[in-house]
Chains A and B, each alone.
Chain A
């Protein structure tokens, strides 16, 4: 069964674009990454899935239930961590966790205590007095304490220190092994690359790629760094060129023989050729898509 399935999901805020014709499938048990820069439509997608906003067009199903008709049933199986961690003023952490558990009609105090311990969160403190990172931890416990079948996480690691990020992803991986589906929205590509099996890339409200992280990372392009003097003018397939002093670094997706000929005719002191990381590939997708749009006369970034 698919955990999440959207068909031509579209959301406009008046005339402003949210997401357009989004076809997304997340299988049950997957650790799925949702990548895009700010304003790309990630949060709109999530808020539509959770029923906070109504779609303008298309449909979406979670565990084969309609997001509009079966909202409460879906939310009962879902844990959501919003990008902002805001709670009611004057409440203590334990009161917030209890309120969340009561709203779910679940007795999950034991699990909440375990999570608080792992995340080093003090239940007796008032939420107003907490740092952003600690409020994020409250949000994590609220999302996880009822052991949901689906976790939807919107920029979950912002504000968390590296040690907490590691602990947080340890917990997520444990939950994933236990069968939970995880939908992780982020623009931190390294955490997608480290944790997700599949990912989708969204740009200006449209999905521009969706595949396994391995396949998305697989590309003919290479990061080439040359120390010395090489004439690269007119060589096709060069992107993201950065020159510093006597060195030049670029992503190369063109004919390798032509590159070797140019290198041979130059004065190369040192050379490195490596696979680009997901960050570079992400930029590649964006630039390629923007270029395509420009070619079609629709404008780009």
Chain B
């Protein structure tokens, strides 16, 4: 657990900044809802007639006048993108930073196996991602209660679960990439999260590109689908988790054999 504690201390500032930023934005969105609710009947009609743009964000199938619809689109984007960026950044540098910052010699001269390093660093990533999601979940529930709305438990829980799983998948992919990289990790992490996000927008807009939902984890986080189905798409989630696990396995295979420079 020494390395887990060490990693959590090292990542403490970034964790607090990202959690405060995403949680704060989410709370602001929820606080805006009561004011927007009254104006939403007309706005929903406008949104539903904006063609591809509406479809891209799933707004053609959600009612902005309800907390569930509003939360699924507005808060979903904040949590989806913010959480994805944090999870990717957190994981993509966790192994490679030792070589990038030239601390690898210090760490690996200690009697710690590479498997243990991977295990503990992975645990540190999972703890940070999980803690961030729990805090944001609490902020979200508190904000909804504060504006006097009834919490739509099922939808909120499913949406937060979906975004948590999305972050786990991205963290798994980026963790695998981290084992192969020696520098330039920040751009890679942000790039992967952004590309995945836009792949989902494309899949929403163009029917021939719908297969992209099987590639991007944002595919199983589509608010409109979750609210309409009352469940997550198990097949997409399973594919996503498998991809994340492949990333972690790749990290084990590569890092255990890697020449450390």
Q: Quick check: A71 and B113 within 8 Å, CB to CB?
A: yes
Q: How far is the CB of A211 from chain B (nearest CB, A)?
A: 29
**Residue among B101, B102, B111, B260 with the highest chain A CB neighbour number at 10 A:** B111
Q: Assuming A99-B6, A103-B2, is B108 touching A51 (CB within 8 A)?
A: yes
Given A52-B259, A54-B259, the answer on whether A100 and B110 have CB atoms closer than 8 Å is yes
B2 — which chain A residues lie within 8 A by C-beta?
99, 102-103
Contact of A53 among B3, B101, B106, B260 (CB under 8 A): B260
Is residue B105 contacting chain A, with contact meaning CB distance below 8 A?
A: yes
Contacts of B113 in A (CB 8 A): 71-72
Residues A142 and B260 in contact in the complex (CB < 8 Å), given A72-B113, A99-B6, A102-B2: no
Q: Say whether B246 faces chain A, with CB atoms less than 8 Å apart.
A: no
Interface size on A, residues (CB 8 A): 28
- Interface positions of A from 102 to 161, Cβ below 8 Å from B: 102-104, 142
Would you call A104 and B110 a contact (CB within 8 A)?
yes
Contact of A88 (CB < 8 Å), options: B103, B105, B109, B261: B103
Any B CB within 8 A of the CB of A89: yes
Determine, out of A73-81, A164-172, A219-227, A252-260, the stretch whose residues face the partner at the interface: A73-81
**A192 contacts chain B at the CB level, 8 A cutoff:** no
Shortest beta-carbon distance from A24 to chain B in Å: 19
- A52, A74, A104: the one contacting B108 at CB < 8 Å is A52
Is B10 a contact partner of A80 (Cβ separation < 8 A)? no
Q: Mark B239-261, 1 if CB is under 8 A from A, else 0.
A: 00000000000000000010111
What 9 A-B pairs are tightest by C-beta distance, nearest first? A103-B110, A76-B111, A80-B109, A75-B111, A53-B259, A102-B2, A86-B102, A82-B105, A72-B111
9 A-B residue contacts at CB 8 Å? A73-B111, A74-B111, A75-B109, A75-B111, A80-B109, A82-B109, A88-B6, A99-B2, A99-B6
A sample of 19 more A-B contacts (CB under 8 A), given A53-B261, A103-B107, is A51-B108, A52-B105, A53-B259, A54-B257, A54-B259, A71-B113, A72-B111, A72-B113, A76-B111, A78-B109, A80-B109, A82-B106, A86-B102, A86-B105, A87-B106, A90-B10, A103-B2, A103-B110, A103-B112
Chain A contact residues, CB within 8 Å of chain B: 13, 47, 50-54, 71-76, 78, 80, 82, 84, 86-90, 99-100, 102-104, 142
